[in-house]
A and B are shown apart, each in its own frame.
Chain A
């Protein structure tokens, strides 16, 4: 009888131990992305990229001898849901580190929760300077701010011939669009380039004819357009329809991919600032081999080709987190945060490392990503 009890106790503890061992077989990384709602397409691409990175790392032995397990939560393109996703990931799934949350709005909403529970987050998409300057020491951003983008663009101004003398702006009417316009204006003014009209468009606007008609005769030679893929496509197509003669340059890393298959009038050229360009990766990418591995894995899964321009952010985000876990030597939030400061990892966009930004003592991490300039003409993409 006694033996039987002993046996049961041994079995029970064995089972307990086994389940514990099983739980610790993997290292969890939380991912909060918009998989439904207005920016579902981009969020899905980023999540795809994150999954590819996890597969890539796991195929190479994982991290600290364990497999990486992504726990993906849909933040529904909604800041309130972004907060819920973070709470669920941290409290229920007990992830020691997160990646998210696509865009400044969702990221800013999530940030107080990171501080409350003490969990670091790698921000893969967000352009607002507030993300890294508001004094949250749990935030590490790999994507560029609008200011960094504007400065990187300023360094390449000489590539534009004839030279840019006067610019107009057409920006989506939200923090991103208006913020980008402000940063680019500052750069242009510093370079002695005249700034003309600033027109805006509602995020869901489809007819931009009034804005374009106003820009048409402004006497500028360049229009800086900031918005998402859909609106960029509409703006460029309608600009061509209205015979806009100015050079169009888009910012923010989005690419009007539908124009590759359905180009506008023959000979119409547009310029785009991208953070990854799959069309010209071979000649432009900072780490061409990694870029190729990423692109091959993407294509193998049959994901849509244009998604490559967004998916790399998820890929780079997970690579960064995995490297931090490796450096930390354990999957614990604080150790990972400390390790993120030491990370030096080769990503698809370029080499990733964090410098300090924000108020002293509560600095956030900010990476200095690469920016690639490409041109689109008759459905062909080429490096500038």
Chain B
């Protein structure tokens, strides 16, 4: 029973970070139709910002998460403005090549700047875990979970309740119609990419003291993010959040009770099943037309 409950706790914590990763990616894809291969690199970027500020400059971890988010926002806006806007997004091959190129450049820049040795970011919390019964949870992970939930809610409110969110949703549904009613599609694109990048960078910074910071960390993050987005339905924002939790649960329980060797395979097997049975994604309420 303890093991079962421990898996639930682990899955919730891991799922919250997967959800954050997935949401940024699906937002960019849903609105801009850009397959952002550099998403994982923005995650790594956030983690390195946290490392530079906390480990090298001795700043506060919470401040570093905030700053990583802001820098991620700026970097995302810059990428959209400088790289994507110029190619007018008409040719998906070009866009993909740009994003793959960006991924390679960012990863190698990290290697050049920080070296290949993994870096550790000290946690501001106690090392001793909180225990309830036989269930263990480190304070750092608890904080990451709470922060992720707050961010997910804030993100939901931005999309569903704000004027910006309304404009974004309008662009998502029909770009030309949105233009006709006066939505500045160009700046919506910039904001979308900036917001998605910000989510990735914040996730990286949040997780920096939980994991280690290394130049190749973005590869795994990208892979997981794509899995989550496909699981939840491409461009489906609540789907990405739920997809994150679903993938974490599959990984946790699959490796706990079936086999750890197939941990990643089980996640992808689930995706294959979803693709066959519900190609629109596990959490799509109805199929989108157009």
Contacts and interface: CB of A to CB of B under 8 A. Distances in A.
Interface in B225-254: 251-254
A23 interface: no
A13 interface: no
Contacts, number: 106
A41 interface: yes
Nearest to A197: B260
Interface string B150-192: 0000000000000000000000000000000000000000000
Contacts of B2: 216-217
Interface of A: 36, 38-41, 44, 173, 199-202, 204-207, 209-211, 213-214, 216-217, 229-230, 233-234, 240-243, 258, 261-266, 304, 306
B84 interface: no
Contacts of A206: 211-212, 217, 220
Contacts of B136: 241-243
A210 B260 contact: yes
Interface in B38-95: none
A242 B260 contact: no
A196 B175 CA distance: 59
A178 to B, nearest CB: 9
B107 to A, nearest CB: 11
Given A44-B116, A202-B264, A243 B255 contact: no
Contact of A243 (B13, B117, B118, B131): B131
Interface in B78-132: 111, 115-120, 122, 127-129, 131
A41 to B, nearest CB: 4
Contacts of B263: 201-202, 205, 210-211
Contacts of A240: 127, 129
Contacts of B116: 36, 38-41, 44
User: What 4 A-B pairs are tightest by C-beta distance, nearest first?
Assistant: A40-B116, A41-B116, A210-B255, A241-B138
B9 to A, nearest CB: 9
Nearest to B119: A258
A207 B144 CA distance: 14
Nearest to B262: A200
B10 A230 contact: no
Given A210-B263, A211-B255, A230-B214, A258 B118 contact: yes
29 contacts: A36-B116, A38-B216, A40-B111, A41-B115, A41-B116, A41-B117, A173-B261, A199-B260, A201-B263, A202-B263, A202-B264, A204-B219, A205-B264, A210-B10, A210-B255, A213-B252, A214-B3, A214-B256, A214-B260, A230-B212, A234-B211, A241-B129, A241-B136, A241-B137, A243-B131, A258-B120, A262-B122, A264-B127, A266-B128
Contacts of A304: 117
A210 B212 contact: no
A230 B122 CA distance: 15
Nearest to B214: A230
Nearest to B248: A207
A266 B126 CA distance: 10
A278 to B, nearest CB: 16
A360 B217 CA distance: 45
